Amino acid sequence: MQIEDIERDAIARVVEQALAEDIGTGDVTSVGTVPETAQCTARIIIKEHGVVAGIPALLAVFEAVDPSLELVAVAQDGDRTDSLPYEIVRIAGAARSVLTAERVALNLLGRLSGIASATRTYVDAIAGTGATILDTRKTTPGLRALEKYAVRCGGGSNHRFGLDDGILVKDNHLLVAGGVTAAVRGLRLISDLPIEVEVETLAELREALEACVDRVLLDNMSPALMAEAVALCRGRASTEASGGITLATIREVAATGVDFISIGALTHSVKSLDVSLEVVL
């Protein structure tokens, strides 16, 4: 999986902050129990089925703690953990360093692999429909770049990264602006970014289409109403479904013909994968 510059920058920042938070003034336990000269080998494994994500962040943690550690990645992001335990990285070097870096590295690997795994489940659920799974901005503060990278590892696509690189006019914007037409008119005065507008009714949809928006977000619509909305949009604007969509309902939503389906649960309520570091003396 290709990692972007924004994600490399995020890794460096997140690792620095996470290690400072975890280590503080020093790893008292390791210093008090592990001889300074002790060496070890270790491996990091995933112990449940899913999709791997976060290896670059994991390696960065160990490198930041001790650049002399020998690190060998034996898996890659995007892999499915078909056979368990699934080995990710092999490590050799100072035992204190390995133990000090362990928790932060595992936290990142487990969290990001959980997101990738959840994404893959949704992607597989709509296979063959032509719809694309999108993430949202419902991310962990400070981890957005890494969590959106994990979504891509799972086969999903990224929606806008922040408020400055995409336009999504929500219900509160419409309320304050005075409706779809006024909102779109104001946006076109200041930006040439594509405009997406959230709609809940066919009346709002028709107003959005008259304003020549680029995409409409069909919010909390029933499948029947959504199918009607998709038909109205055909050739005029792309469509995105959102709001309360689950694995149990997503196939029916995709069957309406929508282009995109955004799922906040990919990042806001995902379960981390079970990961572990095993030391071999």
Cα angle, residue 138 at apex, residues 255 and 180 outer, rounded to 5°: 65
Q: Among 79, 147, 196, 219, which one carries the catalytic annotation?
A: 219
47 catalytic? Reply is: no
Q: Among 103, 137, 206, 236, which one carries the catalytic annotation?
A: 103
Give backbone dihedrals phi and psi of 219, rounded to 5 degrees, phi first.
-95, 120
271 catalytic? Reply is: no
152 catalytic? Reply is: no
Number of neighbouring beta carbons within 10 Å of residue 216: 27
170 catalytic? Reply is: yes
> Taking Cα atoms as reference points, which of 94, 91, 106, 107 lies closest to residue 31?
94
Task: Give yes or no for a cis peptide into 85 (omega within 30° of 0).
Answer: yes
The whole-angstrom separation of Cα 112 and Cα 121 is: 14
Q: Among 13, 47, 170, 188, which one carries the catalytic annotation?
A: 170
The whole-angstrom separation of Cα 3 and Cα 8 is: 7
Q: Among 138, 206, 236, 251, which one carries the catalytic annotation?
A: 138
- Just list the catalytic residues: 103, 138, 170, 198, 219
